[in-house]
Amino acid sequence: MGSGRNVAVFGAYGHTGRFVVAELRERGYVPLLLGRDQGKLTALAQAQPGLETWQASADDPAALDRALKGADAVINTAGPFASTAGPLVEAALRAGIPYVDVAAEIEANVDTFAHFAERAGAAGIAVVPAMAFYGGLGDLLVTTAMGDWTAADEVHVAYGLSSWHPTAGTLASGTVSSQRRGGRRVRYSGGQLQYHDDALPTLEWPFPAPLGPQSVIGEFSMADVVTVPSHLAVPEVRTYMTAKAAADLFAPDPSAPTAVDERGRSEQTFVVDVLVRSGDTERRVAAAGQDIYAISAPLAVEAVDRILTGRTRTTGVASAGAIFDAPDFLRALSAHLTVHLPLDMRG
Ligand SMILES: NC(=O)c1ccc[n+]([C@@H]2O[C@H](COP(=O)([O-])OP(=O)(O)OC[C@H]3O[C@@H](n4cnc5c(N)ncnc54)[C@H](OP(=O)(O)O)[C@@H]3O)[C@@H](O)[C@H]2O)c1
């Protein structure tokens, strides 16, 4: 349990931030509610009596320093992360506390590694970007599937989403990412991120039962193209998205998620199916659950819990698979995730 330690949540009143606040409380942590809008913070605090609020903009270092005083860690759920990740990592380093974010913006994830690896490493402070459904979960599954391998020829991460009702934050982050890459597409191939204008292929992916084969969009690059190669020697990392979910996301007027249960989860279900290949040998692991936003909360909070209790393998900027014991981490989420370990191992 969290033993009453304080964890700041930047963007606390956002859709994902609220899931994170609830998860922290459930696990015995005291969330500090941080964000740029005092009115929204006050409204959230009225629904969560007893919690402190701290108004701070990402571009106000002094306000961030005041807000992080007394915090044992910070979770950043405020996206687009192009504007928030850098300033919040800086503030965490000044405060000497670990930083975890849920960024699914490939460029922001790259920046966190590029700009902070040296300083966070030297300071011995854990900085874990993309510690959420996209980026973190895929990396934990890939690392688990790799087992004793440290290198592989290919990694495939297939997202079997039943639907995708995106939040405003998701849509804004997608727009910012697209602008940052000049409207081009990105994939991880030949051991590097490649920017291109090729049409994305539609193919069929054999998800495990009960989902079964689904039409997916290939090279639908998600944060896994940053997290996985950050610590594993794999020249090809390909991610796929069910065509139905991709169509929902790009619909002219996409609708936001609506809660269908007491936890606030939507009816969306997911399967993340991972296949790693080395020569003729393939290893597979899959995980299934409900609501990609809701599941991001136990992922981020479990990460903070492991960092604060010293259950880490490295420090500095690191992805989930690099810093945590991946199979053990996945087992710890059994209340939220059904992990098939392994589905198919040949060779
Ligand atoms: N990796 C993953 O799997 C994963 C999972 C969940 C969420 N995410 C990402 O997390 C972000 C938030 O998603 P969400 O679903 O919570 O969206 P949301 O409900 O729209 O909330 C966005 C939050 O970010 C805040 N924010 C945005 N820009 C800000 C800035 N410059 N300074 C301070 N606060 C700012 C918003 O505050 P205001 O209301 O004041 O604008 C709000 O609190 C998105 O980037 C999303 O892609 C990723």
Q: Does 166 contact ligand 1 (Cβ within 6 A)?
A: no
Q: Look up tokens 């940053």; give the residue.
A: 226
71 CA to centre of ligand 1 in angstroms: 21
Name residue, tokens 């270092």: 61
Ligand 1 geometric centre to CA of 84 (Å): 10
- Report d(CA 218, CA 27) in Å as an integer: 38
> Above 70 in pLDDT, residue 347?
no
**Mean pLDDT, residues 325-337:** 97
Nearest atom (ligand 1) to Cα of 79 = 45
Scored b (16 or more CB within 10 A) or e, 27-39 reads bebbbbbbbbeee
Residue pair 152/284 in contact (Cβ under 8 Å)? The answer is: no
- In the reported structure, the alpha carbon of residue 12 is separated from the centroid of ligand 1 by a whole-number distance in angstroms of 9
Does 134 contact ligand 1 (Cβ within 6 A)?
A: yes
Quickly state the pLDDT bin for 342 (edges 50, 70, 90): low
Please report the pLDDT score of residue 183 as a whole number. 94
The arithmetic mean of pLDDT across residues 25-33, rounded, is 98
Tell me the best of 170, 175, 224, 301 to mutate to test the pocket of ligand 1, counting ligand atoms within 8 Å of each CB and taking the most.
170
Return the residue matching tokens 């044992």. Answer: 72
Quickly state the pLDDT bin for 49 (edges 50, 70, 90).
confident
- 19: Cβ below 6 Å to ligand 1? no
Q: Is 344 exposed, middle or buried (0-12, 13-18, 19+ CB in 10 A)?
A: middle
Q: Residue 343 has what pLDDT?
A: 43
- DSSP secondary structure string, 153-207? SEEEEEEEES-----HHHHHHHHHHHHHTTT-EEEEETTEEEEE-PPPPEEEEEP
Average pLDDT for residues 189-201, to the nearest whole number? 96
Instruction: Look at residues 17, 21, 228, 208 and name the one whose alpha carbon lies nearest to residue 106.
Output: 228
Amino acid identity of 225?
V
Question: Strands across the sheet with 99-101, in order?
Answer: 53-55, 30-35, 6-10, 73-76, 99-101, 127-128
Name the percent of the chain lying above pLDDT 90.
94
Q: What percent of the chain is modeled with pLDDT above 70?
A: 98
DSSP state of 230: G
List pLDDT tens digits, range 65-113.
Answer: 999 999 999 999 999 999 999 999 999 999 999 999 999 999 999 999 9
Rounded to the nearest angstrom, the distance between the alpha carbon of 210 and the centre of ligand 1 is: 32
What pLDDT does 85 receive? Answer: 98
For ligand 1, atom 47: residue with the closest CA = 170
Q: Is 15 in the pocket of ligand 1 (CB under 6 A)?
A: yes
Taking residues 209-231, what's their average pLDDT? 96
The answer to whether residues 231 and 319 touch, using CB atoms and an 8 Å cutoff, is yes
**326 pLDDT higher than 50:** yes
Cβ–ligand 1 distance for 116 under 6 Å, the answer no
- Which residues, in sequence order, are CB contacts of 5 under 8 Å at separation 6+? 29, 30, 72, 73, 308
Which one-letter amino acid corresponds to residue 142? V
Alpha carbon of 14 to ligand 1 centroid (Å):
6
Q: What is the pLDDT of residue 1?
A: 65
What b/e readout covers 211-225, taking b as 16+ CB neighbours within 10 angstroms?
A: beebebbbbbbbbbb
Q: Tens digits of per-residue pLDDT, 152-182?
A: 999 999 999 999 999 999 999 999 999 999 9
Average pLDDT, the chain: 96
Which residue would you say has higher pLDDT here, 345 or 196?
196
pLDDT at 48: 85
Instruction: Answer yes or no: is the C-beta of 135 below 6 A from any ligand 1 atom.
Output: yes
pLDDT tens digits along 272-323: 999 999 999 999 999 999 999 999 999 999 999 999 999 999 999 999 999 9
